Homo-oligomer: A and B are copies of this chain.
Amino acid sequence: MALKHTILAFLSRQPLSGYEVAKEFTEGFGGCFWKASQQQVYAELAKLERQGCVVYEAIPQAGRLDKKIYSITPSGHQSLIDWLTQPTEPTAIREDLGVMGLAGHLVPNQVVYGEIERRQNLHRDMAQHLKTMDSHFAKHVDALELKDLYMHLIIRRAIRYQEDWVAWCDEALEAIERVVNR
């Protein structure tokens, strides 16, 4: 249920169009910890508007639908603060690869091994991409103000997550090799 509050958090920084909010998830910082499609963002913004958490200014576009620039309202701001004050729940893990743990022996071990190798490369790339995003903050960590430190820490969380995957893949690949060459 953090979609609502993630969007509010974006709008608490600056007014944005639906298109721009959606881009935050797919290209920007939001993707570090939440995922949402463009349609989801537009639907959520409309809902937020009905709830009085945001308002928009319609900018007429030549020959097409108005562009809507959304801003957070005091009520939306309060809703965000209330939410931030509540305890969070750890996200439930849902990981497709886990099925291998139960049934991996039903396919040749090369399939399992190859899949782990493939995943390792994906996670390595994602870690690299996140590090690039973080480089601006990472350069002068000790001089960051709290606002930027929080940002940095969340990107760090995402980097660690990806790097931990990479390390686990190493561990798993080695273990499988040892058993297969036994």
Least Cβ–Cβ distance between A109 and chain B, in angstroms: 6
CA distance A155 to B99 in the complex (A): 11
Least Cβ–Cβ distance between A34 and chain B, in angstroms: 6
- Does A141 contact B175, Cβ atoms closer than 8 Å? yes
CA distance A106 to B13 in the complex (A): 11
Least Cβ–Cβ distance between A18 and chain B, in angstroms: 17
**Beta-carbon nearest neighbor of A90 in chain B:** B122
- Does B12 contact A178, Cβ atoms closer than 8 Å? no
A144 — which chain B residues lie within 8 A by C-beta?
179
CA distance A95 to B154 in the complex (A): 10
- Does A105 contact B147, Cβ atoms closer than 8 Å? yes
- Contact A81/B95 with A101-B151, A161-B164, A171-B156 known, Cβ cut-off 8 Å: no
- Interface assignment of A48: CB less than 8 Å from any CB of chain B: no
- Does A157 contact B147, Cβ atoms closer than 8 Å? no
- Does A176 contact B164, Cβ atoms closer than 8 Å? no
**Beta-carbon nearest neighbor of A171 in chain B:** B156
- Interface assignment of A84: CB less than 8 Å from any CB of chain B: yes
**Beta-carbon nearest neighbor of A84 in chain B:** B107
- Interface assignment of A6: CB less than 8 Å from any CB of chain B: yes
- Interface assignment of A93: CB less than 8 Å from any CB of chain B: yes
- Interface assignment of A52: CB less than 8 Å from any CB of chain B: no
New A-B pairs, 4, CB < 8 Å, besides A91-B95, A101-B153: A34-B93, A90-B119, A104-B147, A105-B147
